[in-house]
Amino acid sequence: MKFPAVFTGIRGKLITIFVLIKVLPLLLLAWFAWHAAQQLGEEVSLKAGGMADAMLSSIKTVGQTVTDDSIRALDIRSREAIEALTTDTARKIADFLYDRDRDIRMAATLDPSEANFSRFLSARSRALYQHEPWKLAEDGKSWVPEKEVSQEAKITRPILADNAKDFHARPPEYLGKEEQRPIFVEMTYVDLNGQEKFKVTQGGLTEKSLKNVVDRSNTFVKAETYFAELKKLKPGEIYVSDVIGAYVPTQAIGPYLPAALEKAGKPFKPEDSAYAGTENPLGKRFRGIVRWAMPVVKNGQISGYVTLALDHDHIRQFSDRLMPTDERYTPIADAIKGNYAFLWDYKSRSISHPRDYFIVGYDPKTGYPATPWLDEELYNEWQASGKPSHEFLAGIPAFRDQSLKRKPAKALIKAGNIALDCRYLNFSPQCDGWNALTEHGGSGSFAIFFSGLWKLTTAAAIPYYTGQYGKTPQGFGFVTIGANVDEFHKAATETAVKINTLVSEKDTSFKSLRDAMLDNIEKSLTSTAIGLWSSTVLMIILVIGIAIWIANLMTGRITRMINGIHAFQRGDLTHRLEANSTDEMGELGRSFNNMADSVEESFQRLEEAKEKAEEASRLKSAFLATVSHELRTPLNGILGFAEILKSELTETDQQEYAGIIHKSGEHLLNLVTEILDLAKIESGEMTLNKTQIPLRTFITETAAVHRGAAESKGLQFELDMAEDLPQSFNGDRTRLGQILNNLLNNATKFTTHGSVKLMVSRSENELAFAVHDTGAGIPAEHHEIVFEKFKQLENFLTREHGGTGLGLALVKQVTALMGGRLSLDSEVGVGSTFTIHLPLDTKHV
């Protein structure tokens, strides 16, 4: 950045000195006074604000501590309560299953007959609860009960004062509409060959006809293989099967609503999709059985086997109605809230869930397990294997790399096959957590962030160890209950909101008082600052005015001298400075005037030398033009008569002498022409006559002129024109031919064997004419010398070949005149390439 002279000259420096001496102290004094007042105001403000902030911080800390402790205490209490609920539920299920052990033992003592079996079954029923009818809401966005059931606690008399504190009444627990349902759907007697001899069924879930159960296709959903296990039983031993039932697929995950089905491009048929509680109360339900069996012993020998098929709904009843919240029980499963219980068998397969499509089942067409829900990676591996899913999964490690980062297989979602088998549900890591809690028969809980919520999930092993369930401490399987963590500490959260509201109100009050105080301090500081800086500005203006007056007085003579020097610089060589005084300024003026005299004298001498040089140049050009003209006239005569003599003389010696005369004359004529051309270029008199040159024709004709001379020396002459050459070139045909002929003449002249090649190519905006030969080559240190006038190399242009030493100099200068450039690439013993680069006028291409 360049500053104006007023700031960098002597006057500016004098003013600066005055400012530094007088103004800076004033500014420093004003700044110190302002800083002291401002610091006082800031300290008062900070202390007042600090006191308010400390009070608010204390209130916030106490409130946060109370809230955190309350939340933690409520979370722990809720966790303990839900863990206890989970364990109690698991024990109730185990007790119920052990009751069925007692039933099978009793059944094994009966004489096999339909009458005995009917009496046995009719005596065993149990209450199940179903919800009232539900329907689609009028807006089609949810399902609602057809009739609301009132659940309010009734208090019909006054409460005693002693009992009034925290008096809390609840209505009778409503589990739904009660239904007495048989515990078992089937009782059979099977002989030693697997043939059913007696069968009594209830409810229509199983077939009434007698079958041979050795063939699994004759069993429930073609999935039972229990007869092979019966053959292994000893008297008194009990067989208990897995949960067996047909898998129920779904057309949508989540609420089954018209909009969701329309988006998926499927018809709205809730009855054809799996039941899902409040999400699809009209759906098709999962129906399954668990089969008990025991040998029937007669006279100390096993005569057959009695079996009981438990209605799986009785097991589901233990978890379907549970709610781990204040509601405790629900008449309909509600997966939307995320608070529900579900059951898993000893293989970590879902056997009870609010959404029936998550319950593992079998394909009733094949009797093999339906494909469970897999993650995308495992699904792709299965597809690549080409095996049925149950065969493929038999070789996959359980709980392999489970993580929330894994994604469920979209193809299975689309197909509606999403049964939950925790062993392969690798995008749900809670599966591994449940297994870790229960694999040794224990229970516990952990929190996990799943589906956008923090959930507490508990698990407890079901301690039922009869038959195959006695092989692991986990027993029959395990119960899990999931609950939203926020539900546990809702009361503490509400209290925290109240505390935060109170703190916000106090914060607003303190801020208002502090802002009023700060405004008063700010007004006081502003008033002080205005008075202080006003007086300071007046003093500064006065000091600067005095400084300018003194500086102008001292720098007037210097300014006049500088103006005189500037006039001399602008070309007024006669201008001189006043030098009347005897002081240093006068001596400086006289010295400048002496220097100006010397400079003026030097300019006069230079002008005279320039005029003489221009005159000499004109004389040289005139001399060269005259000499060239005078030499051409007799040379043309000599060449003419030499041609006549060559044609008329008959003797060989005489013809040779005439040829020498003609060749020498041509050489001399070329020399005169080249000298004249160089003189014109140097004097700036040579002009170019540009025309449109038919490029390929011109190059072909130029090459043809030199082809004969090359071949007469035994050389191979080659012409290479690129395919993308323009049809014409805007240039001086004569001069272009002149420089190409010079280069081709030299190439032919100085090449004793090999070839001469003319190559023409095109780049973006220029043409390149390259002349390549296989001659002796030119050393790198001589590449510049060959383009100087009258220069010849000892091993390159020798008197043996003739030459003036002007050809390459003329080529270089004509090329430059045409706006181009000349390059040389040569190696001794290999050859040389001279390349002319000329600009291509694209407007005329």
The CATH number given to whatever domain includes residue 622 is: 1.10.287.130
Lowest mean pLDDT: which of 25-34, 208-217, 405-414? 25-34
The last residue of one of the domains, among 469, 488, 507, is: 488
Residues 558 and 618 in one domain: no
Residue 149, pLDDT > 70, answer yes
Q: Choose the most confident range, by mean pLDDT, from 291-305, 672-686, 759-773.
A: 291-305
Q: Which residue has the higher pLDDT, 481 or 544?
A: 481
Task: Check residues 749 and 549 and name the one with the higher pLDDT.
Answer: 749
Most confident of 325-334, 344-353, 447-456, 535-544: 344-353
| Residue-range definition of the domain harbouring residue 826 | 687-844
DSSP string covering 63-101, please? HHHHHHHHHHHHHHHHHHHHHHHHHHHHHHHHHHHHHHH
Structure confidence at residue 166 (pLDDT): 82
Residue 827's contacts (CB-CB under 8 Å, 6 or more residues apart) are 777
Residue 641: which of 657, 623, 626 has the closest Cα?
657
Residues 503 and 443 in one domain: no
pLDDT at 73: 52
Inform me whether the pLDDT recorded for 591 exceeds 60.
yes
Output the six-digit token pair for 320. Answer: 């379907």
- Assess whether pLDDT exceeds 70 at residue 506: no
Whether the pLDDT of residue 844 is over 50: the answer is: no
Same domain, 132 and 204: yes
Q: Give the orientation angle of helix 584-648 with respect to helix 490-569, to 10 degrees.
A: 80
pLDDT score of 502 more than 70: no
- One domain, residues 384 and 531: no
What DSSP state is assigned to residue 471? S
Residue ending a domain, among 488, 503, 537, is 488
Give phi and psi for 337, each to the nearest 5: -70, -20
Around Cβ 504, how many Cβ atoms within 10 Å? 11
The lowest-confidence range among 57-66, 79-88, 132-141, 536-545 is 57-66
Q: What is the mean pLDDT of residues 326-338?
A: 79
Q: Is residue 753 part of a domain?
A: yes
Q: How many CA atoms lie within 13 A of 186 on its CB side?
A: 24
**pLDDT value of position 609:** 74
Do 328 and 474 have their domain in common? Answer: yes
List residues bridging with 245 in a β-sheet. 288
- The better pLDDT of the pair 132, 323 is held by 132
Report the CATH number that the domain containing residue 204 is assigned in CATH.
3.30.450.20
Q: Beta strand pairing status for 453-462 and 690-694? A: unpaired
pLDDT in tens, 445-491: 988 776 666 778 899 999 999 999 999 999 999 999 987 766 555 55
Binned at pLDDT 50, 70 and 90, residue 796 comes out as very low
Region 293-301 average pLDDT: 95
Amino acid type, 495: T
In single-letter form, the type of residue at position 357 comes to: Y
How high is the pLDDT of residue 794? 45
- pLDDT of 133 above 90: yes
Q: What is the pLDDT of residue 154?
A: 72
Mean pLDDT of the chain: 83
Residues 657 and 701 in one domain: no
423 and 466 belong to one structural domain = yes
Residues 75 and 220 in one domain: no
What pLDDT band is residue 392 in, cutting at 50, 70 and 90? very high
Q: What totals of helices (H) and strands (E) does the chain contain, helices first?
A: 18, 22
The pairing of beta strand 477-484 with beta strand 340-345 = antiparallel
Report the C-alpha gap between 669 and 653 in whole angstroms. 24
Q: Go through the chain and tell me how many residues it has.
A: 845
Average pLDDT (515-533) is 73
**Do 402 and 370 have their domain in common?**
yes
Is residue 44 pLDDT above 80, yes or no?
A: no
d(CA 360, CA 705): 98
Whether 516 is in a domain gets the answer yes
Task: Look at residue 184 in the predicted model and tell me its pLDDT.
Answer: 98
829 and 759 in a common domain: yes
Q: Is the pLDDT of residue 799 over 50?
A: no
Q: Return the exposure string of 233-263: e unless at least 16 CB atoms fall within 10 Å of the residue's CB, then b.
A: beeeebbbbbbbbbbbbbbbbebbbeebbee
Q: How far, in Å, are 371, 500, 671, 684, 740 from residue 687 at the CA level?
A: 93, 95, 20, 8, 18
356 has a pLDDT exceeding 90: yes
User: Quick one: pLDDT at residue 433?
Assistant: 93
Scan for tokens 């489970």, then name that residue: 402
Same domain, 19 and 42: yes
- 595 within a domain of the structure (yes/no): no
Sign of the torsion angle spanned by Cα atoms 242, 246, 250, 255:
negative
Percentage with pLDDT > 70 across the chain: 78
In which residue are the tokens 């003013």 written? 15
Tokens of 103: 């039933």
Looking at residues 363-369, what average pLDDT do you find?
Answer: 96
Of 91-105, 233-247, 770-784, least confident by mean pLDDT is 770-784
Q: Quote the number of domains for the chain.
A: 5
- Which range, 28-42, 271-285, 676-690, 827-841, is most confident? 271-285
How does pLDDT run across 812-842, given as a tens digit for each residue? 888 988 899 999 998 888 899 999 999 987 5
**503 inside domain:** yes
Q: Are strands 244-245 and 288-298 parallel, antiparallel or unpaired?
A: antiparallel
What is the pLDDT at residue 681?
67
Cα separation, 467 vs 242, whole angstroms: 11
* Averaged pLDDT, 801-817: 74
> Could you give the C-alpha distances from 372 to 246, 368, 656, 829, in angstroms and in order?
13, 12, 111, 83
Assess whether pLDDT exceeds 50 at residue 748.
yes
With a cut of 80, say whether residue 25 has pLDDT above it. Answer: no
**Alpha carbon distances (Å) from 405 to 377, 401, 408:** 12, 10, 10
Residue 807: pLDDT over 90:
no
Residue showing tokens 């099978």 = 104
pLDDT at 439 (0 to 100): 94
What pLDDT does residue 124 have? 96
What does the pLDDT read at residue 845? Answer: 45
The answer, yes or no, to whether residue 566 has pLDDT greater than 90, is no
Label the pairing between strands 690-694 and 477-484.
unpaired
612 versus 621: which is more confidently predicted? 612
One-character DSSP codes across 614-673: HHHHHHHHHHHHHHHHHHHHHHHHHHHHHHHHHHH--SHHHHHHHHHHHHHHHHHHHHHH
Least confident of 523-527, 557-561, 625-629: 625-629
Give the model confidence (pLDDT) of 393-436 as tens digits.
999 999 999 999 999 999 999 999 999 999 999 999 999 999 99
Domain's final residue, options 664, 685, 706: 685
Q: What percent of the chain has pLDDT over 90?
A: 46
Helix, strand, or coil here: 694?
A: strand
pLDDT band (50, 70, 90) for residue 21: confident
- Give the per-residue pLDDT at 555: 65
State the pLDDT at residue 59: 62
Q: What is the CA radius of gyration of the chain?
A: 57
Is there a contact between 197 and 112 (Cβ–Cβ < 8 Å)?
A: yes
384, part of any domain: yes
pLDDT of residue 485: 64
Q: Determine the pLDDT at residue 22.
A: 66
Backbone angles phi, psi at 364, to 5 degrees: -65, -15
What is the structure's pLDDT at 377?
A: 96
Q: 678 pLDDT band (50/70/90 cuts)?
A: low
H, E, C per residue of 333-357: CCCCCCCEEEEEECCCEEEECCCHH
For 380, the token pair is 């792709």
Q: What is the predicted pLDDT for the residue at 780?
A: 81
pLDDT recorded at residue 55: 65
CA dihedral 422, 427, 428, 434 (to 10 degrees): 50
Report the run of H or E that residue 696 belongs to, with start and end. helix 695-712
Q: Is residue 162 part of a domain?
A: no
Same domain, 341 and 206: no
Cα separations in angstroms, 681 against 264, 792, 816? 87, 21, 10
pLDDT top residue among 587 and 396:
396
Domain-embedded: residue 549 = yes
> From its phi and psi, is residue 766 left (phi > 0), alpha (psi between -120 and 50) or beta?
beta
| H or E element at residue 604 | helix 584-648
> Does 473 fall in a domain?
yes
Of 168-172, 488-492, 533-537, which range is least confident? 488-492
Q: Is the pTM of this model over 0.75?
A: no
Look at residue 811 in the predicted model and tell me its pLDDT: 86
582 pLDDT exceeds 60? yes
Mean pLDDT along residues 177-183: 94
Contact predicate 187/107, CB 8 Å: yes
CB-neighbour burial class of residue 152 (10 A; exposed 0-12, middle 13-18, buried 19+) = exposed
Q: Which residues of 392-401 are buried (b: 16+ CB within 10 A; e: fewer)?
A: bbeeeebbee
435/347 Cα distance (integer angstroms): 10
- Regarding predicted confidence, which is higher, 598 or 762? 762
d(CA 361, CA 242) in angstroms, rounded, equals 11
| pLDDT greater at residue 795 or residue 225 | 225
pLDDT band for position 645 (50/70/90)? Answer: confident
pLDDT tier at 800 (50, 70, 90 boundaries)? very low
How many Å from the N-terminal Cα to the C-terminal Cα in the chain? Answer: 49
